[in-house]
Amino acid sequence: MKRVVTYAILIILSFLLQSTISTYFALGDITPNIMIILTTSIALIRGNTEGMVVGFFSGLMLDVLYSNYLGIYALIYLVLGFIFGFFNKIYYQEDITLPIILIALSDFMYGICIYVFFFLINGRFEFFYYFQKIILPETVYTVIIAIFSYRIVLRVCGKLDKKGSEDLIV
Amino acid sequence: MNQRKNSKIKPKYILFFLIIICCILIGISMNTRDSENYIQRGLSSIIVPMQKGINHIGSWISGAVENAKTIDELTTTNDELTSEIESLQSKIYALQNNQSELDSLRELLQLKEKFGDYNTLGARVIAKDSGNWYKTFTIDKGSDDGIAVNMNIIAQNGLVGIVTEVGNGYAKVRSIIDDSSSVSAMNLKSSDPCIVYGDLQLLEQGLLGIELMSADSDFAEGDEIVTSYVSDKFLPGIPIGYVSNIEKDSTGLTMHANLVPIVDFERLTNVLVITDLKSDFVNDNTTETESETETESETVE
């Protein structure tokens, strides 16, 4: 139960940060994608089941509040959480390089997905433009934020383990 | 070591299950797009107060950063502004002359004054869309304050966007720079119709796009573009921006141009909501609009 509540708080917190404070610190009108950091970090630290569930609810939150169609963001985050959960097998806690690289990869894939689902379909074919102006800067900015926020997620997960909370999630 | 195999169900099946849920949700929301969305409203009314709170912290921090601007910068802008005030004052006198002339002409024509008498309500921007792909934002007034869907949003005397969704204490606004936005507009001088659309690529240069002007229509650089009478959502006569960079399309039948918006979308903190709806005006004397366009274009000269 503690784990579920903690994840819920983490999701809401990162959503709030992303929609409010991060817009004040936008560099060149680009904001970091904090929810991707959360989903990917959890997937890495805890494996694909939990990554998937956290991703699903993060995405659902974005869907409910910002999207025209319920479920699209949920689908993207869900699949990303699942994919990056596989890297849990080669991941160990002391290493920071792998998580950062994977978060970058994750945000990059997210950008591609958004482009394909929302923009390519509307006939915006200049992929390179969107790549250069949004996907790449967002990835870079997200990585910078990830260096700090990944440690926070790791610490929270560590605390949960130490307290011996053996609850099932889902 | 990190892996905990405590769930007996394989992740694969959970994945399939959740994907199916997503697909069902997408299907449902595509079919019931225009109907009332209760889940969305419910969750929004929980989240929006939190966003308001956090936003205060954010604006406080960025305010502190702004204060750190050098005094030099402020004195130069002060000088610029005082000189601007002088030139503006002379303009005001000229305009006052025109205004009195216009008033008497209006009286003669017995026309209702249509511009500038919209009812407005101030609101504060509390959250922006969480992402880099869309340009929508949330304001802190909602249905409790009389806000309804399709109300127009203005700021700095220019069009900002339109309300797309309303809850008790908040409203979502799609700004005209959003990639999915298009506004039916016209040239203030010639009354030639056109469509102003948002484009992520043009936005990079702070511009919007204008299209669907027939090749023989009368557009010149610097012409003011206002919302048109034919739009069913936007009220007529709200300034949007100025024409720049006119080009002929390859077909030669249409033209497209860029539009420099009046509103500074980068720093949008306070906006005005026009609480009159276009649909209320539709039954209003539509026959008069033509003649009124004429008078309006004369005042610009």
Beta-strand ranges (E) seen in chain B are 120-128, 136-139, 152-155, 158-166, 171-175, 182-187, 193-197, 208-214, 224-227, 239-248, 254-261, 270-274
Q: What is the dihedral sign for C-alpha A115, A118, A121, A122? A: negative
Q: Which of B3-7, B250-254, B265-269 shows the lowest per-residue confidence on average (mean pLDDT)?
A: B3-7
CB atoms within 10 A of CB B258: 20
Contact assessment for residue B140 and residue B124, using Cβ atoms and an 8 Å cutoff: yes
Q: Give the three-state DSSP class for A75.
A: helix
B20 touches chain A (CB under 8 A): no
Q: Residue B141 maps to which CATH number? A: 2.40.10.340
3-class DSSP assignment, residue A96: coil
Does the residue B148 lie in any domain? yes
> Chain A contact for B15, CB < 8 A?
yes
pLDDT of B203 = 79
Instruction: Specify if B42 maps to a domain.
Output: no
Positive or negative torsion for Cα B188, B191, B195, B199: negative
Q: Residue A138: closest CA among chain B residues belongs to which residue?
A: B132
Using one digit for the tens of pLDDT, what is the confidence trace for A41-69?
Answer: 999 988 888 889 999 989 888 887 777 67
What residue numbers bound the domain in which B279 lies?
116-283
Helix, strand, or coil (residue B244): strand
pLDDT at B246 over 60: yes
Q: State whether residue B232 is helix, strand or coil.
A: coil
Question: Would the pLDDT of B68 be above 60?
Answer: yes
Looking at mean pLDDT, say which of A81-90, A120-129, B189-198 comes out highest: A81-90
Nearest C-alpha in A relative to B34: A68
Average pLDDT over residues B183-201: 84
CA angle B228, B232, B234 (to 5 degrees): 55
Rounded average pLDDT over B229-243: 84
B204 CB within 8 Å of a chain A CB = yes
The answer to whether position B47 is within a domain reads no
Q: What is the structure's pLDDT at B300?
A: 37
Is residue B261 a part of any domain in this protein? yes
Q: Which one of A156-170, B46-60, B115-129, B186-200 scores highest in mean pLDDT? A: B186-200
Q: Which residue has the higher pLDDT, B108 or B154?
A: B154
Classify residue B8: in a domain, yes or no: no
Residue A130 has pLDDT above 60, yes or no: yes
Provide the pLDDT for residue B131.
66
Q: Which of B179, B147, B185, B177 is nearest to B164 (CA)?
A: B147
Question: What tokens were used for B162?
Answer: 């339109």
Nearest beta carbon to residue B57 from set A21, A45, A56: A21
Residue B94: CB partners within 8 Å, gap ≥ 6? none
Is B143 inside any structural domain? yes
The winner for highest mean pLDDT among B1-5, B115-119, B185-189 is: B185-189
Considering chain B, what percentage of its residues have pLDDT values greater than 70? 77
* Domains defined for chain A, CATH in brackets: 2-162 (1.10.1760)
* B14/A170 Cβ within 8 A: yes
How do residues B88-138 score in pLDDT, each as one tens digit?
A: 888 888 888 888 777 766 665 654 444 456 777 888 888 877 666 667 888
pLDDT of residue B130: 62
A102 burial type by CB count under 10 A (0-12 exposed, 13-18 middle, 19+ buried): buried
Q: What is the pLDDT of residue A104?
A: 93
Inter-residue contact A21 to A133 (CB < 8 Å): no
How confident is the model at residue B26, as a pLDDT? 81
Q: What is the pLDDT of residue B115?
A: 46
Residue B2 pLDDT: 41
CB B195 within 8 A of CB B183: yes
Asked whether the predicted pLDDT for residue B33 surpasses 70, the reply is no
Give every CB contact of residue B63 below 8 A, 6+ residues apart in sequence: none
User: What is the distance in angstroms between the Cα of B58 and the nearest Cα belonging to chain A?
Assistant: 5
Residue B71: the pLDDT is: 73
Find, in chain A, the residue whose alpha carbon is nearest to that of B39.
Answer: A64
Give burial (CB, 10 Å; 0-12/13-18/19+) of B247: exposed
Residue B47 DSSP SS3: helix
Distance of alpha carbon B253 from the chain centroid: 29
Would B58 be classed as within a structural domain?
A: no
Q: Of residues A131 and B36, which shows the higher confidence score?
A: A131
**pLDDT over 80 at B151, yes or no:** yes
In this structure, what token pair is assigned to residue B233? 């959502």
pLDDT at A97 over 50: yes
**Considering its fold, how many domains does chain B have in total?**
1
> Which residue in A16, A45, A75 is closest to B50 by CB distance?
A16
- Token look-up 């609101």 returns B123
Confidence of residue B284 (pLDDT cuts 50, 70, 90): low
The predicted pLDDT at position A107 comes to 92
Mean pLDDT taken over chain B: 76
Cβ(B138)–Cβ(B127) below 8 Å: yes
Q: What pLDDT is attached to residue B3?
A: 44
Q: Do A31 and B25 touch (CB under 8 A)?
A: no
Of chain B, the percentage scoring pLDDT greater than 90 comes to: 0
Q: How much is the pLDDT for B291?
A: 40
Minimal CA–CA distance to B146: which of B3, B288, B274, B285? B274
pLDDT computed for residue B288 by the predictor: 44
When pLDDT is cut at 50, 70 and 90, the band that residue A163 belongs to is low
Q: How many residues does chain B have?
A: 301
- Measured in whole angstroms, the distance separating CA B300 from the mean position of its chain's CA atoms is 23
Rounded to a whole number of angstroms, the distance from the CA of B193 to the nearest CA of chain A is 24
Q: What is the mean pLDDT of residues B269-276?
A: 83
Residue B250 domain flag: yes
- Strands (DSSP E) along B101-170, which ranges? 120-128, 136-139, 152-155, 158-166
Residues from chain B that touch A23, judged by Cβ atoms under 8 A, are 58, 127-128
C-alpha span between A82 and A54 (Å, rounded): 10
